């Protein structure tokens, strides 16, 4: 049996696409998970989670809280709102944020928690909800190493863990990883679109490219879906990728890095969202590349025959 405040009782705000399978794995590992989010908690309760009425209540009843919100604005409310974590008046809490947002905003959240004596770790997840459910995601954890060792077993419920060092380095690693995922997916879509336009047999193309130096993990995973015009099963949504790219670009601006390929990829993904594909797998962008509307979206980008 576990009791509130014990090492096997944790808080989770908010159990959504990533948080829900994380919670399910924690519960399977013997943890009691107290959770809060706005809206129905029926799916969370169905897997054995214990609902709370607010982030403050979660903070009052546990020693470790995992935050998995969808934006920096939401995290600010969770921390400093009238019914937020700081309102509980606890200085012995550990908060672990597993979401992705502009690094400056996450650092600001850390500073806000420090005013209440609360330690925060940065531990974003690289992986899709199914990967989390199957414990195949990668957690890039950063911050105080002693605090990290305290939560290492629980973070393992999502998959493998990489400790990257000082606070914020975890987010930086995730941004590098997701830049590659986004751009590699876009290039795979463009390659499949080209092969189709030239009249090649797409299955044959995939069979020949996969063992070659030209292949990538995203090509191997999503090219077959693109060839069949599929956008399910959803391994990662277009809308979710747009959100991550927003965070990457915001942090890149702060760092003084230019991201032309990511910027083009984001335009393509935003057009996919505009066409109603936001909740489909990002493989769907291959269909978007074949649409007339994409020409306007990518206007100004040099095309074959435009120069030379």
Domain of residue 177, CATH code = 1.10.1040.10
| Nearest CA-CA partner of 121 in 102, 139, 137 | 139
- Give 190-210 pLDDT, tens digit per residue: 999 999 999 999 999 999 999
Domain end, chosen from 166, 192, 214, is at 166
Asked whether the predicted pLDDT for residue 307 surpasses 80, the reply is: no
Residue 192 is assigned to a structural domain of this protein: yes
Domain end, chosen from 146, 166, 186, is at 166
**Residues 18 and 117 occupy one common structural domain:** yes
Residue 225 is assigned to a structural domain of this protein: yes
φ, ψ of residue 120 in degrees (nearest 5): -125, 140
**Residues 189 and 154 occupy one common structural domain:** no
Active-site residue flag, 174:
yes
**Residues 159 and 43 occupy one common structural domain:** yes
Number of domains into which the chain is organized: 2
**Residues 98 and 197 occupy one common structural domain:** no
As a whole number, mean pLDDT of residues 178-199 equals 96
**Residues 29 and 82 occupy one common structural domain:** yes
**Residues 146 and 229 occupy one common structural domain:** no
φ, ψ of residue 118 in degrees (nearest 5): -100, 135
User: What is the separation of C-alpha 192 from the centre of its chain, rounded to a whole number of angstroms?
Assistant: 26
Residue-number span of the structural domain to which 186 is assigned: 172-297
Active-site residue, from 174, 196, 249, 267? 174
pTM passes above 0.85: yes
């Amino acid at each position: 049996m576990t009791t509130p405040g014990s090492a096997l009782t944790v808080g989770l705000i908010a159990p959504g696409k990533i948080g829900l399978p994380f919670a399910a794995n924690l519960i399977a590992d013997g943890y009691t998970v107290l959770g809060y989010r706005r809206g129905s908690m029926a799916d969370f309760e169905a897997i054995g989670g214990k609902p709370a009425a607010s982030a403050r209540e979660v903070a009052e009843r546990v020693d470790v809280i995992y935050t998995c919100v969808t934006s920096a604005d939401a995290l600010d409310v969770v921390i400093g709102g009238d019914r937020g974590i700081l309102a509980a008046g606890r200085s012995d809490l550990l908060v672990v944020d597993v979401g992705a947002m502009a690094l400056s905003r996450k650092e600001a959240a850390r500073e806000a928690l420090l005013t209440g004596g609360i330690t925060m770790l940065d531990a974003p997840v690289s992986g899709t909800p199914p990967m989390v459910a199957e414990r195949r995601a990668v957690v890039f954890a950063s911050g105080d190493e002693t605090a990290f060792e305290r939560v290492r077993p629980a973070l393992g419920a999502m998959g493998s863990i990489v400790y990257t060092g000082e606070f914020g380095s975890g987010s930086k690693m995730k941004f590098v990883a997701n830049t590659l995922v986004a751009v590699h997916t876009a290039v795979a879509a463009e390659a499949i679109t080209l092969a189709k336009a030239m009249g090649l047999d797409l299955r044959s193309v995939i069979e020949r490219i996969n063992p070659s130096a030209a292949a990538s993990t995203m090509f191997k995973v999503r090219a077959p879906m693109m060839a069949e015009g599929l956008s399910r099963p959803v391994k990662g949504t277009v809308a979710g990728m747009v959100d991550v790219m927003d965070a990457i670009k915001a942090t890149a601006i702060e760092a003084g890095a230019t991201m032309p390929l990511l910027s083009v990829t984001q335009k393509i993904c935003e057009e996919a969202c505009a066409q109603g594909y936001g909740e489909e797998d990002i493989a769907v962008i291959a269909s978007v590349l074949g649409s007339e509307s994409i020409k306007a979206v990518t206007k100004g980008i040099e095309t074959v025959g435009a120069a030379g």
